[in-house]
Structure 1
Amino acid sequence: MADSMARATGRDPLDASAPATQATPEAERVRPEEAQPGGTRPASAAPPPRGGASAQGPRAAGPPPGRGRESLEQELARVGTRRWLGRLGVLAIVAALVAGIVVWRIRTSPPPPPRYVTGDITTGDVIEVVQSTGQVKPLTEVQVGAQVSGRITKVYVDFNSIVKAGDVLAEIDPTLFGAQIDSNQAQLEAANASVVRSEASLGTAKQRLERAKKMVAEGVGSQADLDTAQGAYDVALADLAAAKAQVAQLRAVLRSSTTNLQYTRIFSPIDGVVISRAIDPGQTVAASFQAPTLFVIAQDLRKMRVLADIDEADVGRLREGIEADVSVDAFPGETFRGTVSQVRYSPLNQSGVVTYAAVVEVDNPDVKLRPGMTATVSIRSSEAKGVRRLPNAALRFKPAPERDKDGKEIKAPPLEPLPPKKGRVYVLTDATPGAEKIEPRVVDVGITDGIFTALLTDLGPVKLVIDENDGPSTGGRGRGPRLF
């Protein structure tokens, strides 16, 4: 029946490329008067072809044998060609988009970064400093002790008390010392009585001696009596001298006892501030061998000193009168001005490290610096103002070793060592991005402050290549090894 329908429509049933005519409901509906027994429609009932063509024409006769398969292959070939053409069109569009993006990225991408970090030669001050640490101390610090032993009865001052010279700081029980004075006075009075008795005995002996001499001169006395009288006189004279010596000794003992009594009152020897107190009332002090320290008094806290330990390699750069800056952790960011007043010759050897003490006097008007603080001292050993200077990072720069195309390092000849006060810098001679060139220059240098160094050679307006890890720069960045 399919063949009949194909012949009736003039369409090859094997031709897949030919569009099938969709039957409408009206075409598929069979009229009652045209229905045949068995449900088949006679060929004469088929609708006439369009254009008035007779069913007896060539189209109604059907295609010749083999034509349907050839038409199918042609249609399939045409469909495949159209698909490949569509795919090629899509690929062309994608390729055009990619090419446009690449061109846009090339045009809008930034230039390659510089291969070197550069710095400028500037004009400014270079201050060479010697760094050290030390301990803050008062200019004058007095340790006040007890010169006699005894029990503390009163303490009149405390920490931070302001005292004047002669003020009483504390008292020791004076009872025993008063009794000692009374005993010494009694002994002195007894010694004075012995002197009087010795003087009387001497007078008697003198009279007897004179009488004996007279009797011997008159011939009525013996020489023995004269000798006895002379001996008695000499003894009396010696007794008087001994008695007077005893009096002098007892007077000295009395003065000592009186002085000890005075020592029971402890006085301030200077004007200042009490920065240490080591006793309390009721405490017993013993001054048998060494006077114990009871108080420490600083003369004036508005003027302090710092004992800075200077390395032996730097001590030759210091001299009296140069300025110094002092800072402490208690006041970060604040600097106290001072002056070196003394560089001591006495060495300090600690574990084989030799240092020398430099005394830096510091003004302390607000009494911010306190005794015992650890201070950082920057002593200005040399100054150069308004000089041409270069960053120290330029003196530390060393170019990366060159490499061949295989990445192997090319060994360069070693640089000659430089004499003192000489330095080697690298100058940027070609600033083409990505293809910069540098060359070394030997320059004369002066003092340094750790960041800048005074430049004594005129290099002109050049760009210095500096170490990328430190130092002030004007742009650029470091680079990796150069490949050739």
Structure 2
Amino acid sequence: MKLWRLKPRWLLAGAGIVAAATLISVAIASLTSPSPQENLHVETVDKGDIEKVVLVTGVLKPAVQVNVGAQVNGQLRKLYVRLGDKVKKGQLLAEIDPTIQESELNNAEAQLASARAQKRAEETALKRYRLEYARQQAMMRDGSGVRSDLEQASADYEAQIQQVEVSDSQIVQAEMAVKTANANLGYTRIVAPIDGEVLGIVTHEGQTIVSSQMAPTILVLADLDTMLVQTRISEADIQKIHPGQPLRFYVIANPDKHYTSTMGFVQPAPQEALEEQQPGSSGNNQQATAVYYNGTFDIPNTQRELKTAMTAQVFIQIAEAKGVLRIPVVALGQALDTDRYRVTTVENGKTQQRTIRIGINDRQYAEVLEGLQMGDRVVVAQDTVQG
């Protein structure tokens, strides 16, 4: 009987302990578990600049580069410059042994003298034939002449006139030969065609130069005060690029320093399309190749920091908006149109959906045209709570 009476009391005490433990657990859980708003990553709508760019790769070249060659044969007798020397237009750079050209000039001058002497002889003969023709005409008028002698004198006189004209042509040819020989002799003295610097020396003293088919290069001159950046623009971006667009770039050798310029010339056809198709190549292979267009611009280089053949990373600005409302691109939700999106905002601890219209974006920020105001809070990410 005593045991039966104590059993309900023991059960009631145990139930009370369990209920208390449950209440404590619920309280602790309510204090430690975050609210739905605390799981949200929120950004505030602010104002700033947005720049949309196209990234291309470029190669640096001197704005003016000339391969100075030889137009005559001979041994390179003397070089008057070294690598890196600055030269002025007309300055003597090198000399080729002029022995052959001097001989050719002497021969041409002798041929000219001979042609002129030959003309004087022909003019003397013409004078004699003219007198004989006049004498025969006079004899015919007196009745003492013979018709055949008159005709012969007339023919000799006319033939000699033609011979004098031949001599004139020979003199012209000889004069041209003298001019050519003089020019060839002048070509043995290589002078600078531009102001610039010696970028490279290809032919050295003592080497023999043969210019039978093409002018061999002796040295390379370049104006390094201005560099030309040649970029390759993909077919996907070419319609966005035009002359006059602002741009900036850096060279791989110094990524921390940026240079600014504007786009100059944009080639209207790919370089491959302008070059003659090589024998054996097929049209199908050309179609499978990516298409690139050349875009070039200048950059001052007075400090000589930029070197030939450097690689440049070029950012061409195709759109810009300054001091506009913007939100992170990751805050954009469902796309309703090309420029309309749904975003999630937080107001008074509650979330709601809004439709906004955007302008340009640079893949980091998007310009807000409609739907949000300065200071609004938008959700950019939400943590997932795992059970």
Aligned equivalent of 1:61: none
**Alignment check: 8 A CA contact 1:324 1:360 kept:** no
Q: Residues of 2 paired with 1:175 and 1:367: CA distance?
A: 41
- Work out whether residues 320 and 343 of structure 1, in 8 Å CA contact, stay in contact via their aligned partners in 2: yes
Map of 2:355 onto structure 1: 442
Name the structure 2 match of 1:187.
111
Q: Is the 8 A contact 1:136 1:372 kept in 2?
A: yes
- Give the deviation of 1:103 after TM superposition: 9.9
TM-score of the pair, normalised by structure 2: 0.83
The CA distance in 2 between the partners of 1:270 and 1:172, in whole Å, is 20
Within the alignment, does 1:149 sit opposite 2:94 as a pair?
no
Give CA deviations for 1:333-365 in whole Å, capped at 9, x if unaligned. 110111112222122457532222222222323
The equivalent position to 2:311 in structure 1, one of 365, 371, 374, is: 374
How far does residue 279 in structure 1 lie from its aligned partner after superposition? Answer: 1.1
| Corresponding position of 2:366 | 453
User: Which residue of 122, 146, 151 maps to 1:227?
Assistant: 151
Check whether the contact 2:203–2:217 (CA below 8 A) recurs between aligned residues: no
* Higher strand residue share: 2
Cα separation, 1, equivalents of 2:342 and 2:354? 6
> For 1:262-281, what aligned pairs fall within 5 Å after superposition?
262-281=186-205
Offset at 1:156? 1.5
Partner amino acid for 1:464? V
Shift of 1:178: 0.6
Say if 2:142 is the partner of 1:218: yes
Matched to 1:328, the amino acid is V
The alignment status of 1:353 with 2:290, answered yes or no, reads: yes
| Distance of aligned partners of 1:348 and 1:159 in 2 relative to their CA distance in 1, 3 Å threshold | same
The corresponding residue for 2:345 is: 427
1:131-188, Cα deviation, whole Å (9 max, x unpaired) = 1111111222222111112211111222221110001111111111111111111111
Q: 1:424 to 1:106 in 2, by over 3 A?
A: closer
Report the CA distance shift for 1:147/1:240 in structure 2 as closer, same or farther (over 3 A): same
**Structure 1 residues 319-328 or 339-348, which shifts more?**
339-348
Counterpart of 1:304? Answer: 227
Same amino acid, percent of matched pairs: 32
Larger radius of gyration: 1
1:120–1:462 contact (8 Å) kept in structure 2: yes
Measured at CA, do residues 277 and 110 of structure 1 come closer, stay the same or move farther in structure 2, by a change above 3 Å? farther
CA distance in 1, matches of 2:172, 2:116: 9
Say which SS state the counterpart of residue 282 (structure 1) adopts.
coil
Give CA-to-partner distance per residue, 1:183-222, whole Å, 9 cap, x none: 1111111111101100001001101111111111222212
Equivalent of residue 479 in structure 1, options 363, 366, 384: 384
Alignment of 1:394-433 (within 5 A): 394-395=331-332, 418-428=336-346, 431=349
One-letter amino acid of the counterpart of residue 315, structure 2: S
- 1:275, distance to aligned residue in structure 2 (A): 1.3
**Residues 228-377 of structure 1 mapped to structure 2, 5 A cutoff:** 228-299=152-223, 301-349=224-272, 352-377=289-314
Does the 8 A contact of 1:128 with 1:383 survive in 2?
Answer: yes
Q: 2:289 is aligned with what amino acid?
A: G
Residue 131 of structure 2 is aligned with which of 175, 184, 207? Answer: 207
Contact 2:355/2:371, CA 8 A, preserved across alignment = no
Aligned 8 A contact 2:105 2:182 in 1: yes
1:287-308 CA distance string (max 9 Å, x none): 1111122222222x23222111
Partner of 1:466: 380
**Deviation per residue, 1:80-138 (Å, 9 max, x gap):** xxxxxxxxxxxxxxx9xx99x98997698574794333322221011111211111112
Match of 2:44 in 1: 120
> TM-score, structure 1 length as denominator?
0.67
State the SS of the aligned residue for 2:370.
coil
* Alpha carbons 2:357, 2:371 under 8 Å: kept: no
Q: Conserved in 2, the CA contact under 8 Å of 1:278 and 1:294?
A: yes
Distance 2:30 2:40 in 1: 24
- Give, in whole Å, the separation in 2 of the partners of 1:440 and 1:353: 43
The structure-2 alpha-carbon separation of the partners of 1:140 and 1:208, relative to structure 1 and needing over 3 Å to count, comes to: same
Q: Deviations over 1:417-476 (max 9, x none)?
A: 633233343334685xxxxx7554332111122211211113234332325xxxxxxxxx
Highest RCO, 1 vs 2 (Cα 8 Å, sep ≥ 6): 2
Residues 338 and 206 of structure 1: is their aligned pair in 2 closer, same or farther, counting only changes over 3 Å?
Answer: same
Instruction: Say whether the 8 Å CA contact 2:269–2:293 is kept in structure 1.
Output: yes
Counterpart AA for 1:368: E
Do the aligned residues in 2 keep the contact of 1:327 with 1:336 (CA within 8 Å)? yes
- Once residues 463 and 154 of structure 1 are traced to their aligned partners in structure 2, the CA distance between those partners, rounded to angstroms, is 77
Matched, 1:175 2:99: yes
Residues 338, 363 of structure 1: 8 Å contact kept:
no
| Aligned residue type for 2:91 | D
- Cα distance change, pair 121–268 in 1 and its aligned pair in 2 (3 A): same
2:90: which partner in 1? 166
Residue matched to 1:31: none
CA distance in 1, matches of 2:173, 2:341: 81
Specify every segment of 5 or more residues in structure 2 that has no aligned partner in the other structure, as ranges.
1-17, 273-285
Counterpart CA distance in 1 for 2:44 and 2:210 is 71
Q: Which residue identity does 1:180 align to in structure 2? A: E
